[in-house]
Structure 1
């Protein structure tokens, strides 16, 4: 029981992303466990809460949790927008708004400061407040 507790703590702040457009989430760490969810979105950020052999227990933005085989996950950092928001030219809400960003948009994480992250996607880059992002702590 102690090792289970420690493993959860080790991964509490670690995010991964889905590698492909179809990934099964299971009730346990193995292909014999039932599929509870099928993710159909590449680069979806997921929070690691536990590991067992070559499986990771992860949670999504809606707090649905389950097990995914490690080789289906990537260490590439992506974020999902928690609410409709704006992207800014600088790390300041008084700076120029460069884009409107819809809830659940997925963007690549370029870098982060204490309260802001620079995110990018096909139409450009913008600074977004961390409180509006799932995929960073």
Structure 2
């Protein structure tokens, strides 16, 4: 009950404690339980870099030193913790640090991994026609993934890639 009261008070609704009884209390509880979870309500979750340039800091404040400066819009990142407008993220190389949440987007992307160019195929199958190859480090817009294959888009081209060639797909 204390959690629901704090949610109500954070919304700016001022109600005496005794008024949250009976039908009103039941309605609030049912709304809290039935509300769908959004992608960013629970960690970890995937995001992409919204800005052309963003600072990764060692702590969740501009007072902390900058550890990395990312200059790649669309770069996939994994959010592992949230704190008042800041997100602790992990990049494809495993580096962790804090980025202001306004520089992040829920649009899904992935980065091509490996040592060699990866095949992008016409269908989600290793026997499907080869459309082209993507170099390691290329950022793709991520579509649906199924049976080990992900629909990817690079510019105006799209096709299917083996999910083993990507970082940023699947469960974070």
Specify if TM > 0.5: yes
What runs of 5+ residues in structure 2 fail to find an aligned partner?
1-41
Counting only pairs closer than 5 Å after superposition, residues 1-137 of structure 1 correspond to structure 2 as 10-12=42-44, 14-83=45-114, 84-137=117-170
Between Structure 1 and Structure 2, the one with more helix by share is: 2
Between Structure 1 and Structure 2, the one with more strand by share is: 1
TM-score by length of 2: 0.71
Larger Rg: 2
Deviations 1:19-50 (A, max 9, x none): 11110000011110100000001010001111
Once superposed, what is the RMSD of the aligned Cα atoms? 1.0
- The whole-number CA distance in structure 1 between the counterparts of 2:131 and 2:46 is 27
Deviations 1:59-101 (A, max 9, x none): 1110011000101100011110012210011111011111111
- Number of aligned pairs? 127
Q: Which has the higher contact order (CA 8 A, sep 6+)?
A: 1
Deviating runs (4+, > 3 A) in structure 1?
Answer: none
